[in-house]
Amino acid sequence: MNTRRLELIGVTKAFPGVRALEGVDFDLRGGEVHVLLGENGAGKSTLIKVMAGVHRPDSGVVKVDGQEVRLTGPGHAEQLGISTIHQEMALVPGLSVAENIHLGRPPRRFGLVDRRRMRRQAAELVERMGLDLDVDATVADLGVAQRQMVEIAKALSLETRFLIMDEPTAVLSRTEAARLFDIVRDLTRSGVGVVFISHLLDEIAEIGDRVTVLRDGAKVAEVPASTDADELVRLMVGRSIEQQYPHRRGEVGETLLEVRGLGRAGVFSDVSFTARAGEVVGIGGLVGAGRTELVRAIFGADRHDTGEVVVAGQSVPPGDITAARRAGLALVPEDRAGQGLVLGASIEENMGLATLGERTRAGLVDLRSQRAAAARQAELLKVRAAGLDQAAGTLSGGNQQKIVIGKWLLARPRVLILDEPTRGIDVGAKVEIYELINTLTEQGTAVLIVSSDLTELLGMSDRVLVMADGRLRGELGRAEATQEKVMALAVTEGNDGVG
């Protein structure tokens, strides 16, 4: 019998202004996958940080194999075999993949870091996980999905008895998630206990055994992972969600965005399409198809070599964000923690960033109007925080994303580009974001959505453009677009994955 067990009993944890956890019981047995489910800000990450030794609970007990332990820090938890992949990535961008995998505990020889062994061990691990990853690559040069894989490799390089994963699949394609699940199954078969957090409900039935649901810091239920999705949603948000994709009124008007023959050597080429006022245009495709690179170039965050971006009849110079913003373009980036948010600044300051210019008179920011606007937006998006002064870096992951989206919504762009807008956002809050998108289109904004969530892409878009290998492979109208048709266009030769 497997007696391996990690238990939390009556754990309470408060932060200034919030009760993040209230008397929570949780236990993890060797060989199982225990899912933690809850809305943004429900306390999931806080709970796993208690298990990982990051937070000391205000009260309550942690037990490992029946023995009470007082975790003194993350190192202590690791010594006990508790490995954690946190929601916010903890990699060092300037170091290589191999260096990151062995961070803090590199193999040594004669007291010196044994770089050859470090590389070899990292390469073996990456190979065993079936990852396509160069261990010598610098982490800063990797995409978000690859960085997540490095995190996973890093956690598995330890003597793991309990593996805790906070939304590991949020940045992964379906192929990559499937690979991760294979790894997880291997681990549970060898007796490892796994805690898994995800906002994607279909993953829960696929990989989970048990589900603990948290609401406002308290445990509200423990149910089998086979519980149907509607019931899980009801437990999580306290009500059922009738319409996931709210219907949109409003008319399609003039062309606001024209992309003409856009190309960037080796990344994407000959991309042409338009988006009109009141329209939602979706861009589908596999991870790596060039979608993020394309929208970054449209926004001027990267240069393009050929072609032209025209907003409301005016050509926008390449690689010039300031000009793009002045023309009315806005981009909510995929890598929000890295590019979208100032973690040390408050919610209010972050929300004000995109509209700072408008609110500045004679060099002074009109703080009162900034505060009012931020408060309204936070309310609309149901941001869960102690107050507008809370530092963005201390918000839950999903709430950080709401801030970045809110900031750009405040700028009232003509063309709003959203790159994976609801990644890490709970099911209830997703609907709020969809409703905001609808409000914007009703007011005449053109919206461009990049999403790997096919249901969302089809549910929200009037037209879906499908990209593969840096080219647009086709366009599907709302009536004809199906998951199968999108996938058929997205999968090209030499690229057999699904994502």
Ligand X SMILES: Nc1ncnc2c1ncn2[C@@H]1O[C@H](COP(=O)(O)OP(=O)(O)OP(=O)(O)O)[C@@H](O)[C@H]1O
- Report the interface residues with ligand X, using CB under 6 A: 15, 18, 20, 38, 40-46, 87, 384-385, 394-399, 426
Tell me whether residue 18 or residue 280 sits nearer to ligand X (CB atom). Answer: 18
Q: Give, to the nearest 10 degrees, the angle between helix 115-128 and helix 144-156.
A: 110
40 binds, among ligand X, Mg ion, none (CB under 5 to 8 A by kind): ligand X
Least separation in angstroms between residue 292's CB and ligand X is 22
Least separation in angstroms between residue 400's CB and Mg ion is 9
**What residues contact residue 475 under an 8 Å CB cut-off, 6+ apart?**
273, 463, 464, 465, 466
Least separation in angstroms between residue 38's CB and Mg ion is 9
Q: Are 124 and 147 in contact (CB under 8 A)?
A: no
Tell me whether residue 257 or residue 347 sits nearer to Mg ion (CB atom). Answer: 347
169 binds, among ligand X, Mg ion, none (CB under 5 to 8 A by kind): none
* Helices within 247-332 (DSSP H only): 291-299, 321-327
CA-to-CA separations, 162 to 1, 4, 23, 156, 262, in angstroms, rounded: 17, 9, 22, 10, 48
Tell me whether residue 30 or residue 398 sits nearer to Mg ion (CB atom). Answer: 398
Q: Which residue, judged by CB position, is nearest to Mg ion in the bound state?
A: 45
Q: Are strands 33-37 and 210-215 parallel, antiparallel or unpaired?
A: parallel
399 binds, among Mg ion, ligand X, none (CB under 5 to 8 A by kind): ligand X
**What residues contact residue 315 under an 8 Å CB cut-off, 6+ apart?**
308, 309
Q: Are 454 and 486 in contact (CB under 8 A)?
A: yes
Tell me whether residue 48 or residue 297 sits nearer to ligand X (CB atom). Answer: 48
Tell me whether residue 31 or residue 428 sits nearer to Mg ion (CB atom). Answer: 428
Tell me whether residue 428 or residue 497 sits nearer to ligand X (CB atom). Answer: 428
42 binds, among ligand X, Mg ion, none (CB under 5 to 8 A by kind): ligand X
413 binds, among ligand X, Mg ion, none (CB under 5 to 8 A by kind): none
Least separation in angstroms between residue 227's CB and Mg ion is 21
Residue 208: φ, ψ to 5°: -85, 160
188 binds, among Mg ion, ligand X, none (CB under 5 to 8 A by kind): none
User: How many angstroms separate the CA atoms of 354 and 361, rounded?
Assistant: 15
Residue corresponding to tokens 């999403």: 451
41 binds, among ligand X, Mg ion, none (CB under 5 to 8 A by kind): ligand X
Least separation in angstroms between residue 8's CB and ligand X is 14
The contact set with Mg ion (CB under 5 A) reads 44-45, 87, 396-397
Q: Are 13 and 21 in contact (CB under 8 A)?
A: yes
Least separation in angstroms between residue 314's CB and ligand X is 39
Q: Which residue, judged by CB position, is nearest to ligand X in the bound state?
A: 398
For 73-186, strand residue ranges (E) read: 82-85, 108-109, 112-113, 162-166
Q: Are 129 and 154 in contact (CB under 8 A)?
A: no
Least separation in angstroms between residue 92's CB and Mg ion is 22
